[in-house]
Each structure stands twice: as structure tokens, then as C-alpha cells.
Amino acid sequence: MRALDLKLLRDMRHIWAQSLAIALVLACGIMVMTLASGTQRSLTETRAAYYERHRFADVFASLTRAPKQVLDEIARIDGVTRVEGRVVFTALLDLENMREPASARVISLPASGGAILNLPLIRHGRLPEALHQNEVAISEPFADANRLRPGDTFRAILNGRKRELVVTGIVLSPEYIYTIGAGALMPDDRHFGLIWMRETASAPVKELEGAFNDLTLSLSRDANEAAVIDAVDRILAPYGGTGAYGRDRQPSNVFIDGELKQLGALATVQPPIFLVVSAFLVNMVLSRLVALDRAQIGLFKAVGYTTRTIALHYLKMTAGIGILGVLIGWGFGWWLGHEMTEMYTDFFRFPWLLYRPGPWQLVISGILGIAAVILGALRAVRASVRLAPAVAMSPPVPPVFQRGWADSLGEMLSLRQTTMMIVRSIIRWPGRAAVTLFGVSGSVAVLVVSFFTFDAIDLIMAELFEHTNRQDATLTLSGNLNDRAVIDAGNLPGVLRAEGIYAIPIRLVNGTQTRLVTLQARAPGAMLTQILDTEGRAITPSTAGVVLPEELARRLGVAPGDSLRIELLSPPRETWQVPVASVIRQSLGQDAYFDRDTLFHRLRQTPQVNMIHLAIDPNRLTDLQAKVQETPAIAGFTLWEDVRNEFVATLSESLITMSVIFATLGMLITVGVVYNAARIQLAERAHELASLRVLGFRRSEVGYVLVVEQMLLTVFAIPVGWLAGYGFALLMAQGFSTDVVTIPVVVTQRTFALAALIVLGSALGAVLFVMRRLDRVDIVSALKQKE
């Protein structure tokens, strides 16, 4: 092998521990990038394949009732390729081994043959037959949660009567990858499911023979979706259409889009921290190595090695560290990405997994990783190759030391000599100290970003279950009823208080920005549910205009006082121009709010309700649930204790797993930075430390110089890391917020303290590990070392 290549191997063997530490820090950034981008691409391709194979519709619409002849008119719209009208409604279920009522969305299948769009995927059994009115297929998550299999039976309340239904098949649907019931915040597979019945069995339940109340259609590749939606709205308006929408507003698809956006934010925000820290570490280690090799560099030049050859020698060493880090990052990123994709597949109930991170994600992450360490090495390499042979072979000019303000301050404070050695080291080599400080602050920032998620979830849960939703249960009605329904609900067994809510679909329009949302009308005296202003205080809807969540107002581009157009998507289907009265804080959902009396005055109707919140006596819950199952006007029953438990169970596992991963990554940065800095300190100051031992200083006193300098820099880095972490938390919150979820930016003292403690512990462990090498320092050899 060439002489320089042999030297390269010897150098790598000599600094293998420092190189490995840098490679691990770099690997963390590559891993996060590979993990997030690979999972994002895999989920995108899995969803696309599922949609294509099972004909997921492009446009959806709900209505009151329309004859089937209308389908022919819709099919003639330019760009429409397939049209399917269905009967869809919600029913209560009476399941064995469950005291509380469950609910399900009933979806009709054509009287003969299979569905045209949103084809159910049969997992077990078969689809129901038209000749058997009581046969149904059910969704797989609901079946698994309730241990139902083909051949089992359960009871459903259809049209006020209990009917025994027979399960013939277990299916999945591309339309309900993420299944959530009316009034729910999270999927609850035990209490809410999907039922497919033949049209001949489901249509009579809602008196929709020869008619439909739900529409799906697919578009050609060159169709104008907005024009098709406008045409569908015009056709369905006389039949109670509530506004057609595309995939971008379909609830299940919207939630998955939000998850994909969050993965993209993860791949964008955190990896740069690791890459930049890696670049500084390479610069730190290589600068030290070049300083030690100064005489050898001069000798190489003197015997004929070119500047380019010497520069490539050191760049090859740097590239080797980068390649090692990239390979480790790829390996762990690929493995963790596969595990995360499987987790998402199970959560969303995709029927299969297509794990395809893609070569370009790997190539890009590899290029960025190696480029980061190469850039970090350039300054050190440039310093090495600029020296003339004669200058390089001579000892470097010793630095000029003179007393300064630090020495005067030390005398004033009576600092001992070992402490003054630490102060002088930091002041006289500020660049090296800055590298350590910056690297440790990056670790603190990563930890703050990781733990801030818990703070945000705690705030969301407090708002959801303690401030805004204080009811014990919610009744979803099968239709709009007058205020007498609230009085009747108050007379149900165990009900202590009942409050009605009226919700209607609307379209909000501001210029070119539009949003389909639900408008809720709340009475001023409501106590069970509240809305909070941006400061977290309970307010009542203003009579002066509409109240919007902050994120919805931002997406529409409006602020309090601005005018906004409201298009009612249910009778009387009017258009109003109203001001934005105020904006509120709302973490889940994007509902708009209106004063109840003002709304019904505008509608020229008597007050109505279609949802009722209840405060109940827990001792009489069983009696209430039994009565609910006997009431035809009730289409759904939500127990908020179950909602909270499901919310916690859904988030806990994934949040804990991700936090452990990123806490480990943050610790690796600290260990990598402090370990390298301490090793360099030990190597450079071996003469000084050995001198202290000869002068009679104990090992602990000599180790004090090494340990305290690194820990002091760590302490200085913590506030900087806190500030950087808050900034990254702000970026993460913006990246993770979607139309469904708004992540609040809240970082508690607990998070700051926990990040600081982990970094301090990791730094202390790293520097104590290096301190063990003091025992192996040959005092005689160290004293002979040139200054």
C-alpha cells in the first residue's frame, strides 16, 4: 500500500473511538432522515396501491334523499367516469358482553353484484346475499375488538326495532382506513364499527327504496375536480345536498395526509442538528490531528508529495468517518422505518405493507451526510496544506501569554490554580470551547423537541377533557328535533343535566380560500361544553359574528373584524356575509361557532337540536344505557370516559417509543461532543497535567481540570439549547399541525429541567470515562512532550 494509505490506517486506529463517536452522531441524523422519509414514501405508496386496486372514489357527497334517476344526470357531468348512490345511516347496536350501546355506520351494497367504488376487501367469509335480509359484513377492526367472526350474530336497532343480524364476512374498505364515529375524537373500534348490508335490506330502514342519500364518484385523469363538485352541488341542492368534496376533505384521507405531513416535518427539522454537530466534531478532531502531524506534513512536502495529495489524504480520512456514519444510519433507519411502517399499517388497518424507502432517499441522505463531514474538515485541511515545508517542519510559534482581566478576576476571587487553568483554557481557545458549547446545546435542543410533545399532549388533554368537554356522555340524534328533546333527555335515568347542540354543514369562503366545516350553535348558558379564547379562558359565542379556531382562521386568511362568507349546505341553503367576531384555541377539529339565538333568527326557524350533552350519575349508568337502546330517536351514544381512555391508549405507546428514541439520540450527541473534547484536552494538556502530578497534586485534583472545564461548558450550553429547542419546537408544531390537529407550542419547566439533567448526566459520564485514561498517562513521557 502507498505510504499515505498506511498512515491513514494507523491514524484511524489511533483515533478510532473519537471517529466512532462522530460517526454515531452523524448516523443519528441519517437514521432520522431515512426513517421519516422512508416511512413517508412507503405509506404513500401503500395507500396509493390500496386506493387504486379498490377504486377509492374521488368525490363524495351526502344528501337527504334523491331518486336514482339523478345518478344518470350526474354521470353525464364532464369528467365523471363512475357514479354510485348508496344508503348510509347510523344505527345503535346491542352487543353481548357489553352493557353500553355501540353504534355503527350502515353502508348499502348494490342489490346484486359488488360495489362500483370503494370496493370492500374481504378478509374472511363472504359478502351478504340479497335474499337474506339479516346478513351483514362488518369491518375488521370492529370484529377484532368485539371478537366477532363469520357465523356470529348480534342485535341492531333499525327503524326503532331490534333485529338480529348474522355476520357473513369481515372486510376492510379504502374509504375507512381511519374510522371515527360521530362526536368522537379518536377511533374506538370496540364501540363504533362499519356494517355493509344489501340495499334491499338497508333502504327500507330509512324509507329510501329507489333512492339514495350518499354519493361517491370517480373522475377521469384530466377532469376538473372543482368544476365537477360545483356541478354535483347544483344537481343535489334540491335534494338536501350538504356539499360535495374531494379526497382532500374526506375524513379518513385527511387524517392520513396529516400523518404524512408530520413525517415530512420530522425528516426536515431534526436531521440538520445532527449533521451540523458532526461537521463541528470533524473539524475539532481533524484540527488536532493536523497539528500533531505538522512535522510529518512538512516532511511529505519536502520529499515531493503535492499539496493536493496531502489534502486528499485527510479528506479520505474524513470521508471514511462519513461513510461509516452513513452506513450505520442507513441500517438503523431502514430497520426502524420498517418497524414504524408496520406500526402505521396496523393502526390504519392497511391490508398489506409496501415498504419501499426508495433509492433516492438513501442517496440524498448519504450525500448530505458525507458533505457535512467534508465541509467540517475543509478548514483543518486548508490550514495543513498552506504551510511551506520548512515552516511545517519547524515547531509552531508558541502562543504569547500575558496577564489579562481573567487573571485579575481570579486573584480578586482567590481562585485556585487548577480553576485558573480552566478559565484560561476557555478564554485563550474560544473556538474550541464554542464547538463544545454548540454541540451540547444541539443535544439539549433535540431533547427539548422530543419531550415538548408530552407537554403539548398534556395541554390538549386538559383542554379536551377538563375545560371544553366536561360532559359525561353525548347523544347523537337521528335527525333534527325541537327543544323538547333536551327536556326528554333530562328525564332519562341518571341524567343530572342535559344541554342541546345544533350543528349544520357550511362552507366558509374568503376570496379563493374555502373550507367545509361544521357550524355549531351553542346556548349562552351552556356549562357542559365550553369554548376557550387564545388565553385559555371560557367565552360564549358572540352575537356579532362567527367564532373560528386559530388554525382555521389562518388558513382562510381572516382575523377578528374581517368579513367572511358563509354558505349554508342545508335548508334554507342561503349565503350570509358575517364578520369574524373572535378566534379561539382548539386543538382537535375545525368547527366554527355561532350564537344559538342569532343563528335561528337568521334561519327563521324555531330552535332545534341534533346532539345532546349529558351530565350523569355514574351509579345509574347501566339504566341509562338500557334506556338509550330502546329510544329510536338516538342514533349514537358516546361515553367520554371511553373516549379519554382510547385517546390515552392510542397516543401512549407511540409517544413513549418515539421519545425514547430521540432521548437516546440527544444523549449520543452529548457523549460524542464531550468525549471528543475531553480526549483532545487530555492529549493537548498531558504535559501540564503530568506536571501537576509531579508537583504533588492528587489524581482527583488533576482530574478536576479535565472534568470541570467540560461540565462548565455544558452548563453554559444548556440555556442556549433551551432557546434553540423552543425554536425547533415552534417549527415542529407548525409542521405537525394539520386540518385535523393543531399542536400548541408549550414547553414546560419539567421539559427544560429533564433535558438539562439528561445532558448533564451524559456529559459527566463521558468525561469521567476519558478521565480514566489519566491513570495510563506515562508521566515521564508526558514531561518530555514538546510544548
Is 133 within the bounds of a domain?
A: yes
Same domain, 603 and 690: no
Q: Compute CA 595 distance to the chain's CA centroid, rounded to the nearest angstrom.
A: 34
740-771 pLDDT, tens digit per residue, is 677 888 899 999 999 999 999 988 888 888 77
Sign of the dihedral through C-alpha 83, 89, 94, 97: positive
Q: What is the mean pLDDT of the chain?
A: 83
249: pLDDT strictly greater than 90: no
Between 332 and 381, name the one with better pLDDT: 332
The predicted model gives 480-487 an average pLDDT of 88
Q: With contact defined as beta carbons under 8 Å apart, do 769 and 675 qualify?
A: yes
Q: With contact defined as beta carbons under 8 Å apart, do 553 and 583 qualify?
A: yes
Q: Round to whole Å and give the CA distance between 475 and 367.
A: 56
Residues 6+ apart with CB under 8 A from 101: 92, 93, 94, 625, 628, 629, 637
313: pLDDT strictly greater than 50: yes
Same domain, 541 and 582: yes
Q: With contact defined as beta carbons under 8 Å apart, do 116 and 157 qualify?
A: no
Sign of the dihedral through C-alpha 67, 68, 69, 70: positive
Is 439 within the bounds of a domain?
A: yes
The crossing angle, in degrees rounded to 10, of helices 359-385 and 271-292 is: 30
Is 447 within the bounds of a domain?
A: yes
Q: With contact defined as beta carbons under 8 Å apart, do 501 and 610 qualify?
A: yes
In single-letter form, the type of residue at position 198 comes to: R
- For residue 565, give the C-alpha cell: 362568507
The predicted model gives 137-145 an average pLDDT of 93
164-187 pLDDT, tens digit per residue, is 999 999 999 999 998 887 666 677
Q: With contact defined as beta carbons under 8 Å apart, do 56 and 117 qualify?
A: yes
Between 379 and 189, name the one with better pLDDT: 189
Q: With contact defined as beta carbons under 8 Å apart, do 77 and 228 qualify?
A: yes
The predicted model gives 100-109 an average pLDDT of 89
784: pLDDT strictly greater than 60: no
The crossing angle, in degrees rounded to 10, of helices 699-736 and 686-694 is: 140
Rounded (to 5) percent helix, strand, coil in the chain: 55, 20, 25
Q: Compute CA 367 distance to the chain's CA centroid, rounded to the nearest angstrom.
A: 26
Least trusted range by pLDDT, from 226-240, 259-273, 325-339, 363-377: 259-273
Q: Which of 257, 290, 305 is the last residue of a domain?
A: 257
211: pLDDT strictly greater than 90: yes
Q: What is the pLDDT of residue 438?
A: 83
Q: Which of 238, 257, 276 is the last residue of a domain?
A: 257
Q: Round to whole Å and give the CA distance between 452 and 458.
A: 10
CATH classification of the domain holding 548: 2.40.40
Q: With contact defined as beta carbons under 8 Å apart, do 50 and 389 qualify?
A: no
Q: What is the pLDDT of residue 125?
A: 94
Measured from the Cβ of residue 290, the count of other Cβ atoms closer than 10 Å reads 22
1: pLDDT strictly greater than 60: no
Q: Round to whole Å and give the CA distance between 485 and 490.
A: 9
Q: With contact defined as beta carbons under 8 Å apart, do 476 and 636 qualify?
A: yes
Least trusted range by pLDDT, from 220-229, 339-348, 471-480, 695-704: 695-704
Residues 6+ apart with CB under 8 A from 224: 78, 79
Q: What is the pLDDT of residue 302?
A: 75
Q: With contact defined as beta carbons under 8 Å apart, do 455 and 751 qualify?
A: yes
Domain range holding 165?
57-257
- Distances in Å between the alpha carbon of 418 and those of 422, 444, 692, 768? 7, 28, 9, 17
Strands 102-109 and 192-198: parallel
**3-state SS string over 730-758?**
HHHHHHHCCCCECCCCCCCHHHHHHHHHH
User: What single-letter DSSP state applies at residue 465?
Assistant: I
- For residue 51, give the C-alpha cell: 386506493
Is 28 within the bounds of a domain?
A: no
The predicted model gives 72-98 an average pLDDT of 91
Residues 6+ apart with CB under 8 A from 307: 301, 385
Q: Round to whole Å and give the CA distance between 655 and 667.
A: 18
Residues 6+ apart with CB under 8 A from 758: 447, 663, 666, 667, 670
Is 190 within the bounds of a domain?
A: yes
The crossing angle, in degrees rounded to 10, of helices 430-462 and 271-292 is: 160
Q: What is the pLDDT of residue 687?
A: 61
Give the SS3 label for residue 323: helix
Same domain, 512 and 579: yes
- For residue 238, give the C-alpha cell: 334540491
Q: Round to whole Å and give the CA distance between 674 and 665.
A: 14
Least trusted range by pLDDT, from 79-83, 279-283, 426-430, 649-653: 649-653
- For residue 367, give the C-alpha cell: 450525500
- For residue 463, give the C-alpha cell: 383542554
Number of domains in the chain: 3
User: What single-letter DSSP state applies at residue 58?
Assistant: S
Is 242 within the bounds of a domain?
A: yes
Residues 6+ apart with CB under 8 A from 103: 90, 91, 92, 93, 181, 182, 191, 192, 476, 635, 636, 637
The predicted model gives 147-167 an average pLDDT of 88
Q: With contact defined as beta carbons under 8 Å apart, do 569 and 505 qualify?
A: yes
Least trusted range by pLDDT, from 345-349, 628-632, 687-691, 768-772: 687-691
Q: Round to whole Å and give the CA distance between 674 and 426.
A: 14
Radius of gyration, alpha carbons of the chain: 34
Q: Which of 235, 257, 279 is the last residue of a domain?
A: 257
**3-state SS string over 335-398?**
HHHHHHHHHHHHHHCCCCCCCCCCHHHHHHHHHHHHHHHHHHHHHHHHHHHCCCHHHHHCCCCC
Same domain, 84 and 174: yes
The predicted model gives 492-505 an average pLDDT of 90
Same domain, 785 and 686: yes
Same domain, 74 and 196: yes
Q: With contact defined as beta carbons under 8 Å apart, do 196 and 122 qualify?
A: no
628: pLDDT strictly greater than 60: yes
Measured from the Cβ of residue 582, the count of other Cβ atoms closer than 10 Å reads 21
Same domain, 464 and 515: no
602: pLDDT strictly greater than 80: yes
The predicted model gives 347-361 an average pLDDT of 82
Same domain, 133 and 212: yes
CA atoms within 13 A on the CB side of 119: 14
Same domain, 453 and 499: no
Same domain, 140 and 214: yes
Is 317 within the bounds of a domain?
A: no
**3-state SS string over 388-433?**
CHHHHHCCCCCCCCCCCHHHHHHHHHCCCHHHHHHHHHHHHCHHHH
Residues 6+ apart with CB under 8 A from 549: 583, 584, 585, 586, 589, 590, 591, 592, 742
The predicted model gives 429-447 an average pLDDT of 82
Is 113 within the bounds of a domain?
A: yes
The predicted model gives 470-483 an average pLDDT of 87
Q: Round to whole Å and give the CA distance between 106 and 205.
A: 10
Q: Round to whole Å and give the CA distance between 294 and 392.
A: 6
In this prediction, what percent of the chain has a pLDDT beyond 70? 88
In this prediction, what percent of the chain has a pLDDT beyond 90? 24
Q: What is the pLDDT of residue 162?
A: 83
Residue 787 confidence class, pLDDT cut points 50, 70, 90: very low
Between 415 and 538, name the one with better pLDDT: 538
Same domain, 592 and 661: no
In the beta sheet, which residues pair with residue 169? 125, 137
- Distances in Å between the alpha carbon of 437 and those of 369, 672, 714, 769? 22, 12, 6, 19
Same domain, 536 and 647: no
In single-letter form, the type of residue at position 500 comes to: G
Q: What is the pLDDT of residue 752?
A: 93
Sheet strands (E) in 523-590: 531-533, 538-539, 546-549, 563-568, 575-585
The predicted model gives 287-304 an average pLDDT of 72
